[in-house]
Structure 1
Amino acid sequence: MATDGKLASIGEKCQVDLQCAANNKAHRTIEISEKRLLLRRGQSFDINMFFKDGFNPQKERIELAVTNGPNDTKTVIGFTEELNERRWSAVIKSVTKNELSLTITSSPRAIIGRYSFSLQHDYENISYFLGNFVLLFNPWCAADEVYLNSDVQRKEYVLNETGTIYYGGSDYICERDWNFGQFEEDILDICLNLLDNAPKYLKNAKRANRRRCSSVYISRTVSAMVNSAHDQGVIQGRWSSPYTGGEYPGKWSGSIAILRQWQKSNFKPVRYGQCWVFAAVTCTVLRALGIATRVVTNFDSAHDTDANLTIDNYYNVEGDNIGGSSDSIWNFHVWNESWMARDDLVPGFNGWQVVDATPQEESDGTYCCGPASVRAIKEGDLEYNYDAPFVFAEVNAQCANWLVFADGTKMKMDVDVLNVGHFVSTKKCGKDEREDITHLYKYPDGSTEEAEIFKKAKIVIAEPAPEKTLKVSLKVNQPICLGQTVSVSVVVSNKSSEEKVCTVNFWAKKKMYHGNTDKETIKKFKKEITIPAVEDKIIPLELSYKDYGTFPDMYYRMRLITYVTDKLPENNVATMKDIGLLNPPLTIKMMNFNAYVGEKAHVEISFTNPFALPLKKCSMSIEGNGLVDDQTRVKFDDVKPNALAEVRCDFTPKKPGQRKLLVDIDCDLMQNVKGSLKIDVQKKK
């Protein structure tokens, strides 16, 4: 075999050196391996051959052949005077009596995947196997449809093995680090196996393989295969407990463990994931294959099942969603953007494309979404492939919230957020900061441009709630740490010139991130108040840990709802507000002065118990590409009420360079407490 970069026999005639380390370094795949030939299409590479009995290129009349695909489709490459950058070509770089050096380039539109190549005579049926290689998309090649003309962006969206995912709510945005790990050596093979397990490939492998030259086809395939709705996909989704037989989605901190488990189980779906897990694994796969990809979060994200671009939510007076519509507003939703040309569309829609692997609605009979041009979404050009209307609704659907009384009458509420699609967020290039990219998806709320786009998309702008002499709002000081008391102010304003006597009703409930609330009410409050003319009345309330206790998921969300009744029903008003509590921050520090490859490193993780109760069943897991082979879990002692906890652990770095250690802490009263530390690992001198 000629796959390890060393001399390998191809018979008695000659030996070959694939120069794996040098070629992989030039093709920016050296982080994956120094022993396998891993190339990017449209870029040249060199190989050397050594002949025992001498070599005469004019007499030998040789040519190269590369084969790919289930039927070993062959492309024959004759030697030319100079390389042709638009197709497969090869030149003789140098030749002596015993050595032949070749420079070869692949087509910038070549099929991506596994290849083998051989040297053959052009006049007789004799060939010599040279070796195997993998060919990937090439964002550095101007002729490749995934070309991205920015070193900073290529470094972030192709080469960076860690990233940040934003979650929570538009009232307070949280973040968590993720280990994409696309350059772990086995991950690339798993990603190629993912393509081989796609239903279209299993049905007609030859036809599906021919389409692997297209980034549109590949991204659409990956979108379908990362979820398991219709196939042997990677992740099984689950949006509420119980999570029996699998991991709670919040436990995952990286893609490597998920992809390895899927491969090891003979491609059985890994349990369980939610939107950010689907998006993170999709990012790993597409970056591994060479497509620049980033993770994007949309806050107050609409799920418009009937495609009418209107979300009507109906609540009873205790804040329960009582149905009437299958549409919903999620606290947030996470998808991907991938950079590519859209030669399948009219000009103007190249660039970032939405790709969403979360199984929400079928697209051409498959649970996948995209690629949908971000520019087409902003401009309301929804007729272009793929799934632009669905994504457009996620950021633009009109939302109306209704309060339904026991007698069936309903009232439109005043709410803090009238529309969907806020703080569309991604990690900023080269920095651990959030970048707001809402302007790429939509024009400013209330602008003339927005009105024109709504008109084009045939959105009927919802009528605002009518002005009334009473007004009510909810004020909460944030951020609030889990375990602490939440202070809420119900502010009732009398806009009339007369004194008013009215009744204030208040409820608080736990809320899941997909929009539903618990049936159980955390707290109820009812009081009759008198408000002088043109004055405000502030009613202070508190929600203690004893009131709210543990939560059904990792977001610690609550829905507050209040309505105020007047003697005249037409003056009744209501509003609601969603809030979230936070885990305590982690402090992570290196105990060594420096970190070196192959030498044990020591870290200390500390945090303060926010509860007036002890923390029990405490454990910590760490992972990090190039730092820890697999996720490592450590148990530690109970933590006293409001006390400082300090936990130490060690690991042995495997790779040099800028690395990131990811930490996750779980206890009986709080879960998925996340933190990270950048570590500069040096080679030992």
Structure 2
Amino acid sequence: MLVILPNTCNSSCHTMNNMQQTIYSINGTTNGHCRLKSMNFEIPENSISHETQGLSRNRLVVRRGKPFKVTLKSDSWLWNPCAESLVLEVCLGGLSKRIPVLFYEEQSHPQLYDWKATIYPGNMHPQSVIIHICAPVQSSVALYELLAHIETRRSRKTYVLGTFVLLCNPWLKGDPVYMPLDAHKEEYIKSDYGLVYMGSSLNVSKRPWSFGLYEPGVLEACLKLLEFSPQHLTDKNKDYTLRADPVYLSRVVCAMINCNDDLGILEGKWQGSYKNGVKPTDWSGSADILLRWASSKCRPVRYGQCWVFASVLCTVMRVLGIPSRVVTVFNAAHDGNGNMIIEEFYTRTGEKFGVSKDSIWNFHVWVECWMRRPDLGAGCDGWQVVDPTPQEKSEGIFCCGPCPVAAIQHHWLDARYDIPFVCASVDADVVRLIVHNGLVVGKTVDTECVGKLIYTKSIGSDKPENLKLTYKPDKRGNTSVCGRTLQHQGTMSPNLNVTLKIVGVPKLGEPIHICVTITNQCKNPRVLVGHINAQVKEYDSSPCEAFWDAQTEVQIQPFSVTTLNHTISHFKYQSFLAGDDIVNLAVVLKDMRTKETFLAAEEFSISPPQITIQIEGGNSIQLKKQRTVLVSFTNCLSTALYEAVLTVQGAGLLEGKQVAKIILLQPGEKIEKKVSITATSPGTKLLMATLSHSNNPNIIARWYHKVSVTA
């Protein structure tokens, strides 16, 4: 911790308390009056010791609670320990802390909660001295200035040594972000590559993401984010002090990822044109976003949606030393009134319409951060939900969390922060209402839809890990959960059950097969008439008008099962759907004798056609060595594509975008583009290719290719 002391940073020669003080800047120049001629932060060695390799090329980056060493050099003895004192001083704004430099024999028992500066046996020589500096385990995350003072009772010579960055330390047991397993630290702190799961619970797609931890300027952008937060601009010293706490840090960073009420990084946009910025689906990494914001005097980058907000947050938290991972909730509820119930409204023909303040996102992406929660107790330690997508305000600002996953699972609704909202996101009930002439004519309750899957990338693998049971109680075999009665999807009556199923995995260019199963469990025959309806929708909103429907009539005998099969041809949907688009499907049936109305609904996504990316010599390339890449797309659709455009881009591999165009791409024909790539930094990089055409304003295919860059 730091205490408020008279700050000598950036001062000139002056007298303090009758002591003559002279200040020198160590910049490699010779000064006849300057005893200290040079200093060395020993960046390569300290970076390896502190697990910070690659975070900065020319700045010392270390972790709290672990010693790092600096070397001071002079033309002769730097100071006389019998007559002078050597004191280091660390400074943050108006805060500073003096650290007496002691020989190892003079040190008391090791303390995790105070700064130390130690000279070990054999580390002091006539023209140099090696000092090991250790910050307290709960020091603030920041850019510090380091000074050295050589003092007597009458004089002080002060040397401005330079700056260093101090981060959280998940390798140290005493740190609130300590993570015991090395494989977890490798994945959740050091990994530069991740996956975002998207689409629908019936057809999950994955999108690689480059976190860009080691791209030049990213560390500085993350520190700048802290400096431009409202908390820092309002009271710098208070903010510096509170930055020791990962709970505080996560709330500050979470709010700064969106720009809704501060100088934050990203502006969100979910509808309309994106011509004044970058379409959210076109981003493939965090570095470009962070560097654009940092170089634009904190103007928000346009545009983001949930997975972009979350992925950038994950980057910043990992850079600051807080273990983090991106998590996708499939069928995530937005509960506007906090009653854990989401109402959806349908017409008698099966069209869903948006009149409710509540909604269900086919997928929603947030971040889990790992930390202890002394403010809540040990039962709330571990993974915490932190959601930067601006939906609702938390204590007056657009952020959400940190919300303990354990508290969500047990419905501890009074725990901080935002437990009721996050609980509803993963475990609300869905009430579907059929409305005609302002009256409800049918109703079903679905307790399984929300939070159907909760995915994150597995450790060391591209396979998903399902976190559902860490968020939700296991409902199998239960009749009620948290006081809410369980009913199964599609059940309108104890005597009739209607279910809706998509057969296979829908792929763009192929027909979509639908199966409706009707089970009559009563002794009377039934005559049912109804509609089945398909609507395109954005992942976070209500559907548009229907692009396909069909009428149906069926007679079903007592205690029997009937199936209805429907097919939506490519010809019927080609003008409406592109790759990764989501479809809302519903069937409404009416019993002509009893006048009962029955509803079953399902949502699914369309898999895009594949783009082929082939790297000459394999997927592992050397730093700064040029390689050739062939990118191609074969039209697998049944119709020709007009003005087809194949676009290739890759941060850290390609300058800008590379484009190939063709006026007419017939079925079975190929478009290709040959590009040369050169990696500018080591790690995992991503090549992204997209295919668009004038028949449809949306991109119909989007493909990613992982490239491993070795030094």
Tell me the TM-score normalised to structure 2 length.
Answer: 0.88
Note if contact 2:658-2:675 (Cα within 8 Å) is conserved in structure 1: no
Note if contact 1:502-1:564 (Cα within 8 Å) is conserved in structure 2: yes
Q: Cα–Cα, structure 1 residues 409 and 356, in superposed 2: closer, same or farther, change >3 Å?
A: closer
Note if contact 2:532-2:588 (Cα within 8 Å) is conserved in structure 1: yes
Give the equivalent residue in structure 1 for 2:645: 618
Structure 1 residue 67 corresponds to structure 2 residue 94 = no
**Which whole-Å deviations, capped at 9, do the CAs of 1:489-525 have from their partners, x for residues lacking one?**
333444444443331322211122113010x221222
Give the equivalent residue in structure 2 for 1:203: 234
Q: Which moved more, 1:206-215 or 1:80-89?
A: 80-89
Tell me, in whole angstroms, the C-alpha distance in 1 between the residues paired with 2:242 and 2:251: 11
Structure 1 segment 314-393 matched on structure 2, within 5 A: 314-323=345-354, 325-393=356-424
Structure 1 residue 421 corresponds to structure 2 residue 474 = no
Tell me, in whole angstroms, the C-alpha distance in 2 between the residues paired with 1:20 and 1:160: 21
Give the equivalent residue in structure 1 for 2:102: 79
Tell me, in whole angstroms, the C-alpha distance in 2 between the residues paired with 1:290 and 1:660: 22
Structure 1 residue 49 corresponds to structure 2 residue 79 = no
Note if contact 1:64-1:119 (Cα within 8 Å) is conserved in structure 2: yes
Which amino acid in the other structure matches residue 91 of structure 2? N
Q: Which moved more, 1:53-62 or 1:14-23?
A: 53-62
Note if contact 2:353-2:543 (Cα within 8 Å) is conserved in structure 1: no
Find the residue that maps to 1:295 and give its secondary structure.
Answer: strand
Structure 1 segment 58-457 matched on structure 2, within 5 A: 58-59=81-82, 61-81=84-104, 82=107, 84-93=111-120, 94-123=123-152, 124-323=155-354, 325-406=356-437, 408-413=439-444, 418-446=448-476, 451=480, 454-455=482-483
Find the residue that maps to 2:379 and give its secondary structure.
Answer: coil
Point out where structure 1 has 5 or more consecutive residues left out of the alignment. Answer: none
Find the residue that maps to 2:606 and give its secondary structure.
Answer: strand
Structure 1 residue 675 corresponds to structure 2 residue 706 = no
Tell me, in whole angstroms, the C-alpha distance in 2 between the residues paired with 1:213 and 1:343: 13
Q: Cα–Cα, structure 1 residues 324 and 583, in superposed 2: closer, same or farther, change >3 Å?
A: closer
Tell me, in whole angstroms, the C-alpha distance in 1 between the residues paired with 2:337 and 2:127: 71
Q: CA deviation at 1:324?
A: 5.3
Structure 1 residue 479 corresponds to structure 2 residue 509 = no
Note if contact 2:345-2:435 (Cα within 8 Å) is conserved in structure 1: yes
Q: CA deviation at 1:301?
A: 0.7
Tell me, in whole angstroms, the C-alpha distance in 2 between the residues paired with 1:496 and 1:10: 99
Note if contact 2:212-2:285 (Cα within 8 Å) is conserved in structure 1: yes
Tell me, in whole angstroms, the C-alpha distance in 1 between the residues paired with 2:83 and 2:132: 18
**Which whole-Å deviations, capped at 9, do the CAs of 1:287-326 have from their partners, x for residues lacking one?**
1111110000111111111111111222222444445531
Give the equivalent residue in structure 1 for 2:16: none
Tell me the TM-score normalised to structure 1 length.
Answer: 0.92
RMSD value, Cα: 2.6
Structure 1 residue 599 corresponds to structure 2 residue 625 = yes
Structure 1 residue 585 corresponds to structure 2 residue 610 = yes
Find the residue that maps to 2:365 and give its secondary structure.
Answer: strand
1:648 to 665, 668, 674: 674
**Which whole-Å deviations, capped at 9, do the CAs of 1:402-453 have from their partners, x for residues lacking one?**
11123623211476x74411211100011111001111111112455x956x
Find the residue that maps to 1:667 and give its secondary structure.
Answer: strand
Structure 1 residue 503 corresponds to structure 2 residue 534 = no
Tell me, in whole angstroms, the C-alpha distance in 2 between the residues paired with 1:522 and 1:377: 39
Give the equivalent residue in structure 2 for 1:8: 28
Q: Cα–Cα, structure 1 residues 60 and 462, in superposed 2: closer, same or farther, change >3 Å?
A: farther
**Which whole-Å deviations, capped at 9, do the CAs of 1:551-571 have from their partners, x for residues lacking one?**
588631111211122222354
Tell me, in whole angstroms, the C-alpha distance in 2 between the residues paired with 1:558 and 1:363: 32
Which amino acid in the other structure matches residue 511 of structure 1? K
Q: Cα–Cα, structure 1 residues 47 and 505, in superposed 2: closer, same or farther, change >3 Å?
A: same
Tell me, in whole angstroms, the C-alpha distance in 2 between the residues paired with 1:533 and 1:678: 56
Q: Which moved more, 1:503-512 or 1:80-89?
A: 80-89
**Which whole-Å deviations, capped at 9, do the CAs of 1:618-651 have from their partners, x for residues lacking one?**
1323224xx4266543334454323344432221
Note if contact 1:177-1:662 (Cα within 8 Å) is conserved in structure 2: no
Q: Cα–Cα, structure 1 residues 105 and 161, in superposed 2: closer, same or farther, change >3 Å?
A: same
Q: CA deviation at 1:134?
A: 0.8
Which amino acid in the other structure matches residue 86 of structure 2? E
Q: CA deviation at 1:681?
A: 3.4
Q: CA deviation at 1:468?
A: 4.8
Tell me, in whole angstroms, the C-alpha distance in 1 between the residues paired with 2:541 and 2:117: 58
Q: Cα–Cα, structure 1 residues 678 and 313, in superposed 2: closer, same or farther, change >3 Å?
A: closer
**Which whole-Å deviations, capped at 9, do the CAs of 1:586-631 have from their partners, x for residues lacking one?**
333321256222210122233432322333341323224xx42665
Q: CA deviation at 1:397?
A: 1.2
Tell me, in whole angstroms, the C-alpha distance in 1 between the residues paired with 2:364 and 2:336: 15
Q: Cα–Cα, structure 1 residues 320 and 662, in superposed 2: closer, same or farther, change >3 Å?
A: same
Which amino acid in the other structure matches residue 339 of structure 2? N
Which amino acid in the other structure matches residue 686 of structure 2? L
**Which whole-Å deviations, capped at 9, do the CAs of 1:366-406 have from their partners, x for residues lacking one?**
01000011111111212111111111111111221111123
Q: CA deviation at 1:577?
A: 1.6
Find the residue that maps to 1:530 and give its secondary structure.
Answer: strand
Note if contact 1:470-1:571 (Cα within 8 Å) is conserved in structure 2: no
Find the residue that maps to 2:380 and give its secondary structure.
Answer: coil
Q: Cα–Cα, structure 1 residues 10 and 17, in superposed 2: closer, same or farther, change >3 Å?
A: farther
Q: How many residue pairs get matched?
A: 669
Q: Cα–Cα, structure 1 residues 654 and 527, in superposed 2: closer, same or farther, change >3 Å?
A: closer
Which amino acid in the other structure matches residue 286 of structure 1? M
Find the residue that maps to 2:415 and give its secondary structure.
Answer: coil
Q: Cα–Cα, structure 1 residues 551 and 191, in superposed 2: closer, same or farther, change >3 Å?
A: farther
Point out where structure 2 has 5 or more consecutive residues left out of the alignment. Answer: 1-8, 10-25
Give the equivalent residue in structure 1 for 2:585: 560
Which amino acid in the other structure matches residue 329 of structure 2? N
Tell me, in whole angstroms, the C-alpha distance in 1 between the residues paired with 2:355 and 2:38: 73
Q: Which moved more, 1:538-547 or 1:136-145?
A: 538-547
Q: Which moved more, 1:260-269 or 1:401-410?
A: 401-410
Which amino acid in the other structure matches residue 29 of structure 1? T
Q: Which moved more, 1:225-234 or 1:307-316?
A: 307-316
Tell me, in whole angstroms, the C-alpha distance in 2 between the residues paired with 1:226 and 1:554: 28
Find the residue that maps to 1:133 and give its secondary structure.
Answer: strand
Q: CA deviation at 1:95?
A: 1.0
Note if contact 1:228-1:235 (Cα within 8 Å) is conserved in structure 2: yes
Q: Cα–Cα, structure 1 residues 539 and 27, in superposed 2: closer, same or farther, change >3 Å?
A: same
Q: Cα–Cα, structure 1 residues 591 and 322, in superposed 2: closer, same or farther, change >3 Å?
A: closer
Tell me, in whole angstroms, the C-alpha distance in 2 between the residues paired with 1:553 and 1:72: 56
